[in-house]
Amino acid sequence: MPKAKETLLEIDLNALDDNYRYLTSKLKPETKVLAVVKAFAYGSDSVVVAKELVELGVDYFSVAYANEGTTLRNAKIETPILVLHPLPVNFEEIVDRCMEPSIYSRKILEEFIAFAEEKKQTNYPIHLKFNTGLNRLGFVEEDISWIAEILSKSQSIKVKSVFSHLAASEDLNLREFTLGQIETFRKISEKLISKLGYKPLLHCANTSGIINYPEAHFDMVRTGIGLYGFGNDKEENKHLKPIGTLKTIISQIHTVQKGESVGYNRGFIAEKITRSATLSIGHADGIPRSYGKGKGWVTINDEKAPILGNVCMDMIMVDVTNINCEEGDEAIIFGPSTTAEELSAAINSISYELITAISQRVKRVVLRK
């Protein structure tokens, strides 16, 4: 690969393909796959990623909000799209662009039925979200009779799927809790199906659920972070490859004398003569101020360069005292070698937070087959 000449995020579609195939190898042939492409496909590029997944045969996409789905529709992606967190103000957009809302409360169900009836819809697909322990969004078991009754009074909507979300599927120390969630979901689904008189798709497994709980695969699984190269487990990470590599370049190198400081508020004071390299990336690009002052590093010519002082809006400074480098050289923030998971651990964070924070001003470069 050519060396970077500016700040950019490389998106490796070969890695995406491999990750998809690894995850689907754990499923039965008839199990459907829903790919989560919210938040710009976890900080990459939702259109590029979605188009590749269409070629791979994905069955469904999900986004958090309606405007994310509209981006896919504008790119002529016709695959069904589940909107995980629809808001009444977006119902018009959802129906106009043929997206499918997650319905998670009595208020949202009543409002969507009223909207669908006003628009003279028939059997418009909805997805019923049940809370089995995450306590974030969702109906509870006691709502089933009410749901069945209100659905029986309207022909405007039809339940396409029933789903829930596992709270701790990556933590095998909480296996008993997760198995309890799965059993609760099974019980809720059976009760609801008996009242509906037909069987919607059932799904509750996320990436870690795919890997750790085959009994939770049901009719469809949802995968997000796994597609982007992280399995929430060191052993599983060996089978997955991060699709994103964040790079920048050295803009200038300074020799900092003992006692001199680097950056705002004198965040670093040299205890000896230090070579400091200024890189063209900062917190406006997604590198939080939690880094610096001994936390975090970049890789330059295969060597770790610790971040010095405070992260600036558009720049960071790193220690290259013992690294053979010069202005214009490439610096890798994270990628397959130093992963976002490893780097985020330096500030007690997680890969999700780091990769989804990459600013849209950072240039995306797609590496194709």
What amino acid positions are annotated as catalytic residues?
38, 264
Please, are residues 309 and 262 in contact by the beta-carbon 8 Å criterion? yes
Handedness of CA 204, 189, 58, 360 (dihedral sign): negative
Beta carbons within 10 angstroms of residue 124's beta carbon: 22
Q: In 3-state terms, what secondary structure has residue 365?
A: strand
Element (H, E) at 10: strand 8-12
Q: How far is CA 128 from CA 87, 202, 334, in A?
A: 15, 10, 38
Q: 32, exposed or middle or buried, with CB in 10 Å at 0-12, 13-18, 19+?
A: middle
The residues facing 331 across adjacent strands are 248
Q: What string of DSSP letters covers 132-199?
A: SSS-SS-B-GGGHHHHHHHHHT-SSEEEEEEE---SSTT-GGGHHHHHHHHHHHHHHHHHHHHHHSS-
Question: Closest by alpha carbon to 85, among 65, 112, 106?
Answer: 65
Handedness of CA 229, 2, 46, 348 (dihedral sign): positive
**Per-residue tokens: 39:** 């938040």
Phi, psi of 333, rounded to the nearest 5 degrees: -80, -55
